[in-house]
Amino acid sequence: MPELAVIGIAFAVTFLAELPDKSMFASLVLATRYRASAVWAGVAAAFAVHMAIAVTAGQLLALLPHRVVDWVVAGLFVAGAVYLWVTSYRPAQPEGGDDATRQGPSTTSFLRVAATSFAVIFLAEWGDITQLTAANLAARYNPVLVYAGATLGLWTVAAIAVTIGAKSLSVIPPAWINRITALILLALAGYAAVSAIS
């Protein structure tokens, strides 16, 4: 199969699998609180690491106990939901610049936001369908090409998510975004818990 075709297949499959995924929602939420560029940098780095793991040891990832992963993810979503709900009642502290409407602390550094975004996505992505898909593709095709296509697919989804997150503040008040997102995170936590039980 031609190299560009392998990259294209990995890109398309990963892009479509990630669109409705929890990581897209997490990226969107982070972008409503912090600078989109810092969020994207952290998310992109986490995706790059996860795809490297997937193409080199993806077959082993499929053997990990999914119940443990699901319970950890459920716990993280509940914690995130509680945090967002509580902070939605704190008054925003607007300051000058493009980030005036964001609820995140205005003094938070680029590196700290990127590191936080990296950690959230890195933890949430374990055992994800995109990892397993990339592992299966890497077993059949050149893993470097699969890595390139899959990573580009994930980066594109992250770019869409942070763009929507940044723009949504002009339409919906930040406190309501936090509350709606908290409810979504609780629903995702419930889904993860049901997956862990079944």
pTM score over 0.85 = no
Q: What are phi and psi of 35, to 5 degrees?
A: -60, 130
Domain limits, the chain? 3-92+106-197
pLDDT digit string, tens, across residues 39-89: 999 999 999 998 998 888 654 544 556 676 667 667 766 776 787 688 778
**Who contacts 70 (Cβ-Cβ below 8 Å, separation ≥6)?**
127, 192, 193, 195, 196
* Whether 73 contacts 146, CB under 8 Å: no
State pLDDT tens for residues 146-186.
899 999 999 998 888 888 766 655 666 667 766 776 776 67
